[in-house]
Amino acid sequence: MNYLAHIYLSGKNRQIQIGNFVGDAVKGKAYNSYPDFFREGILLHRLIDSFADTHPAVKEAVSLGKPLFGRYSAAVTDIFFDHFLALGFPQYTGQKLTPYAHRFYIALIVNYRYLPPRFQHFIWHFILTDRLGRYASRQGIKQSLDIMTRYRKIAINPPVSAQDLFTITRYKGMDPEVYTSYDGLDYGAYPIPRTITFGAKIRF
């Protein structure tokens, strides 16, 4: 499940909602450094993920997406679950999505100091683009998938080559690679340049 489902399953306490919202960014026992309700939300996030990841229906949905999305199938499935929840939000919750999302955004701003650094970096974009509300539209889902693609890990292999960095020799005569006249003097010819070449192989 993605953000909207985690928030809704947290009940009405805003701090529990926010703890659940940021749960992925709090690893190991780091939850112990948060106030009580935030800690409760973080632990609830883990329980929800554990339940969902082992549910037969979720496993089936992820397996259906694997031929197209590969190892990202689980993340894409989470986003689609939020899409369906957003589409039927009044039916499932008895509330309208827009005011629900706006109240949560206000709670995020009020509790900004408790957000993990990763969330502090993107939370303003999250609020200003109304990510929760946009889960209900196809364009919003596309934007969410684009964001996920942009922030996925990229493997980089940087090859480096160098030429004529230095020469080790006892030879006192002219440099055989420098243009000279027949008498062995270079007459101001340019020396062989030192060359360093960097490259990058980027694999998505």
pLDDT in tens, 119-130: 998 899 899 999
As given in the structure block, the two tokens for residue 139 are 């364009």
Residue 148 vs residues 19, 31, 95, 145, 186: alpha-carbon distances, Å: 21, 25, 28, 5, 60
User: Residue 90 is inside which H or E element, if any?
Assistant: helix 89-93
Q: Is 70 exceeded by the pLDDT of residue 145?
A: yes
Residue 122 vs residues 65, 88, 127: alpha-carbon distances, Å: 27, 27, 9
Check: CB of residue 98 under 8 Å from CB of residue 133. Answer: yes
How far is residue 130's CA from residue 150's CA, in Å, rounded to a whole number? 18
Question: Given its phi and psi angles, is residue 161 left (phi above 0), alpha (psi -120 to 50 degrees) or beta?
Answer: beta
Q: What is the pLDDT of residue 203?
A: 46
Residue 13 vs residues 36, 40, 118: alpha-carbon distances, Å: 12, 10, 23
Q: Provide the percentage of residues in the chain whose pLDDT is more than 90.
A: 50
DSSP, residue by residue, 114-157: GS-HHHHHHHHHHHHTTHHHHTTSHHHHHHHHHHHHHTS--EEE
How far is residue 134's CA from residue 126's CA, in Å, rounded to a whole number? 10
pLDDT in tens, 36-51: 999 999 999 999 999 9
Largest CA distance in the chain: 96
pLDDT in tens, 50-104: 999 999 999 999 998 888 888 888 888 888 899 999 999 999 999 999 999 999 9
